[in-house]
A and B are shown apart, each in its own frame.
Chain A
């Protein structure tokens, strides 16, 4: 059986400025538009990419425009993998001390109304992984093209 090597579909960088997550969302959506994701799964991937990029801009790179967020989109068989990297290192405020959001506690004032980013990402994609290599902090988002809508 022939093994098909992963295929890089796109790679780009963004300045770490609030709002640039919309650029990542639009570009990734354009890159994967013909790979066979259903509309619902494409919407989920877009939300995950936007949230992960927002975290990278804000928490990883501290909104410093000169520090780039790197985005790479790869197809490996029936998996689309989006890797989003910042320079936040291991002490990443969004992931190192993350409390599971609890809506009831939020409504009662026992938890901040915020803190939904990582929760949304986890629930939008088929798999999520986080790696660090020195200062490089990467979130990996995996979405299968053949998954149920």
Chain B
């Protein structure tokens, strides 16, 4: 009934995308950290925005929230912006309660996040 966290990364113009699946809990620490490093160093250009896509994530617990906080802290120290997409209404509420949504812009889905980031005037 449990599914380990997996992360795939890809580079877009100006943004690095990390697509997460499975469960974001304490056991996902190495996966998330490595995915972040892989994503921001992929391709020739600097990625000043990191997109975390949660569309295929079915569970986030308090230790997963702690991992997201760590990724956000690292990104901010490197002057990168973090945005999130694909959160269910329940996890959007948790992002609001924890105030993560004060620091991470939320998009309904990855397409809209990418569209906004690559065509900000649209």
A-B contact pairs, 26 of them (CB 8 A): A19-B2, A22-B1, A22-B2, A26-B1, A40-B89, A40-B90, A43-B88, A47-B90, A51-B61, A54-B62, A103-B69, A103-B98, A103-B102, A104-B99, A107-B69, A109-B73, A114-B62, A114-B66, A115-B62, A115-B66, A116-B62, A117-B62, A119-B62, A119-B98, A120-B62, A120-B65
Contact A120 B70 (CB under 8 A): no
Residues of chain A contacted by B99 (CB below 8 angstroms): 103-104
Q: Is B107 an interface residue (CB 8 A)?
A: no
Q: Give the residue name and chain of the A residue nearest to B74 (CB).
A: A107
Picked from B2, B65, B72, B90, the residue with its CB within 8 Å of the CB of A116 is B65
Q: Would you list which residues of chain B between 43 and 91 have a CB under 8 Å from chain A? A: 59, 61-63, 65-67, 69-70, 72-73, 76, 88-90
- Interface range on chain A: under 10, 10 to 19, 20 to 34, or 35 or more? 20 to 34
B114 contacts the other chain (Cβ, under 8 Å)? no
Tell whether A98 is near chain B: CB-to-CB under 8 Å: no
A44 at the interface (CB under 8 A from B): yes
Contact between chains at A106 and B73 (CB < 8 Å): yes
Q: In the complex, what distance in Å separates the CA atom of A103 from the CA atom of B65?
A: 11
Q: Which residues of A contact B (CB under 8 A)?
A: 19, 21-23, 26, 40, 43-44, 47, 50-51, 54, 101, 103-104, 106-107, 109, 112-117, 119-120, 123
The binding surface of chain B is classed by DSSP as helix
A22-B59 in contact (CB<8A):
yes
Smallest Cβ distance from A99 to chain B, in angstroms? Answer: 14
How many residues from B make CB contacts under 8 Å with A? 25
Chain A min CB distance to B21 (Å):
16
- Cβ contact within 8 Å between B103 and A103: yes
What residues on B are CB-neighbors of A115 within 8 Å? 62, 66
Beta-carbon contact of B62 and A51 below 8 Å? yes
User: Which residues of the other chain, B, contact A123 by a CB distance below 8 angstroms?
Assistant: 97
B117 at the binding interface (Cβ < 8 Å): no
Nearest-neighbor residue (CB-CB) of A101 within chain B: B98
Interface: B100 (CB within 8 A): yes
Known contacts A107-B76, A107-B103: A120-B59 contact under CB 8 Å: no
Is B70 a contact of A47 with CB atoms below 8 Å? no
A109 to chain B, nearest CB (A): 7
Instruction: Give every chain A residue within 8 A of B2 (Cβ-Cβ).
Output: 19, 22
Contact bitstring B80-122, A, C-beta under 8 A = 1, else 0: 0000000011100110011110110000000000000000000
Contact mask for chain B residues 1-45; partner A; CB cutoff 8 A; 1 contact, 0 none:
110000000000000000000000000000000000000000000
